[in-house]
Amino acid sequence: MNMLQQSRNQVLAQIQSACTQAGREPDSVQLLAVSKTQPSAILAQMYEAGQQAFGENYLQEALEKITALKALDIEWHFIGHVQRNKTRPLAEHFAWVHGVDRLIIAERLSNQRRDSQAALNICLQVNIDGQDSKDGCQPEELSELVKQISLLPNIRLRGLMVIPAPENTRAFADAKALFDVVKAQHAHPEDWDTLSMGMSADMTEAIAAGSTMVRVGTALFGARPKKAE
């Protein structure tokens, strides 16, 4: 077994045991492999190890990998900050976009998604810590955004994504509570099924709080190579 297979198995085992401890089904949490700054050859190896969903943060780098790896059946997730003038390549080349925080972004993604493609899956990023400097909509804006985005034709709004400050120990529970409030008001609650939270250092806590998708980089690939600027 190679190193990437081993580290993937370890992460999957950690997810399973976190689920068991929390009394949740082991398949209720998906693993998203965060591959930013990793070269395509490493992604190809991780794919060979059984990993299909990959998350990228930097658009240009991601597009190069998508081209290089187009022979593989990879599900590409964009987890970086979404800029308004860069929505077209996201709409055309990704299966999921996690960092949507404004209606205009969702509208553009819906307009730019090709009719021949399946609807684009998105998560709304919420600024769960209430910090001025952070991306994400405010919790108070959420219910109106959900209502409006749900009307867009080429979008499937799946849930929430959060990137809490490490010192905020309440953040995962707060995010889960928000997630449940929206689900309770949702016209089609079965469509609202994704809570994207937890990374290498805190996936166990995120799963205990109700995460359905952990975004894991370092624990899978080791320390990241620096991003070439």
Q: Closest approach of Cβ 106 to ligand PLP, in Å?
A: 18
Q: Closest approach of Cβ 21 to ligand PLP, in Å?
A: 20
- What is the chain written as a DSSP string? --HHHHHHHHHHHHHHHHHHHTT--GGGSEEEEE-TT--HHHHHHHHHTT--EEEES-HHHHHHHHHHTTTS--EEEE-SPPPGGGHHHHHHH-SEEEEE-SHHHHHHHHHHS-TTSPPEEEEEEB-TT--TTS-SB-GGGHHHHHHHHTT-TTEEEEEEE----TT-TTHHHHHHHHHHHHHHH-SSGGG--EEE---TTTHHHHHHHT-SEEEESHHHH-SPPPPP-
Q: Which of 46, 199, 206, 213 binds ligand PLP (CB under 6 A)?
A: 199
Which range binds ligand PLP by CB under 6 A, 11-19, 42-50, 116-124, 210-218? 210-218
Does residue 207 belong to the site contacting ligand PLP (CB under 6 A)? no
Does residue 217 belong to the site contacting ligand PLP (CB under 6 A)? yes
Q: Closest approach of Cβ 101 to ligand PLP, in Å?
A: 13
Contacts of ligand PLP in 126-165 (CB under 6 A): 163
Does residue 79 belong to the site contacting ligand PLP (CB under 6 A)? yes
Q: Which of 34, 46, 62, 128 binds ligand PLP (CB under 6 A)?
A: 34
Q: Closest approach of Cβ 215 to ligand PLP, in Å?
A: 4
User: Which parts of this chain interact with ligand PLP (CB under 6 A)?
Assistant: 34, 36, 57, 79, 163, 199-201, 215-219
